Amino acid sequence: MIISLKDFPILSTKVEWGRITTQFTLEAVEDEALISNISIVPVIGDRYVMMKLDTGVWELAGGTLKRDEPYLDALRREVQEELGAELIAYHVLGHFRCSSRAEQPYLPHIPHPDFIRLVGYGEVRLIGEPLNPPDGEKVILVDVVGIEEAIRRFEEINRRDLSELYRLVHLTRTSEKQNVSDTINGIKL
């Protein structure tokens, strides 16, 4: 199965996030020094992990890298802080190419004005409660649901970008499983 961003009208459109213009792409990151943020669509088996903030909205897990922090270390930290989980595996899906019109970067160590929010999916194991550090969002609920429920919850709060991202991850994972199955059975598509 070939997955195209054309099937995802929100993700394939240039978007304004306040002073930031962004565009999602499935292309590989050419310069990892531009990565300032990392996000994950977390999974447990065939189900999807979601987090609800104290503002009442469902949000994507992830955050900003600390100074000199490798992005996988940042992801491990964010998964523990926001989900109370341990990262088992991570697969890069794509990234948001971002350009800021702000005079200064969000944090002094963040690339500016151009930076990348890396996006992927991966297996996690829930091991406790979210840590909710003082400088982060306050997570009030972590839930594990089927893909249909995840999409419904994001669409209910008008976060079609996240519903499309979860759907894209689901299709990618389904395609990967089919490819493995086809290889095991000796069938080439």
DSSP state letters, 65-130: PPTT--HHHHHHHHHHHHHSEEE---EEEEEEEEEE-SSS-SSTTS--SEEEEEEEEEEEEE-S--
- 176: pLDDT confidence band, cut at 50, 70 and 90? confident
pLDDT for the residue numbered 179: 61
pLDDT for the residue numbered 32: 96
More confident: 154 or 178: 154
What does each C-alpha distance from 173 to 8, 47, 71, 164 come to in angstroms?
16, 11, 22, 14
Could you tell me which residues are beta bridge partners of residue 96?
A: 24, 117
Q: Is 15 helix (H, G, I), strand (E, B) or coil?
A: strand
Is the model's pLDDT at 189 over the cut of 80? Answer: no
* Residues near 21 by beta carbon (within 8 Å), at least 6 away in sequence: 14, 15, 98, 99, 101
> CA-CA distance, 32 to 147, in Å (whole number)?
30
pLDDT for the residue numbered 182: 44
> CA-CA distance, 17 to 15, in Å (whole number)?
6
Is the model's pLDDT at 185 over the cut of 50? Answer: no
Query: Which residue segments constitute the domains of the chain, with CATH numbers given?
Result: 5-182 (3.90.79.10)
Is the model's pLDDT at 3 over the cut of 90? Answer: no
pLDDT for the residue numbered 177: 76
Angle at 48 between CA 127 and CA 11, to 5 degrees: 130
> CA-CA distance, 55 to 36, in Å (whole number)?
24
Q: What is the pLDDT of residues 93-130, one digit of tens each?
A: 999 999 999 999 989 999 999 999 999 999 999 999 99
Is the model's pLDDT at 147 over the cut of 90? Answer: yes
Question: Which has the closest alpha carbon to 98: 119, 77, 82, 78?
Answer: 119
Could you tell me which residues are beta bridge partners of residue 99?
A: 21, 114
Is the model's pLDDT at 188 over the cut of 80? Answer: no
Question: Which has the closest alpha carbon to 115: 125, 124, 123, 105?
Answer: 105
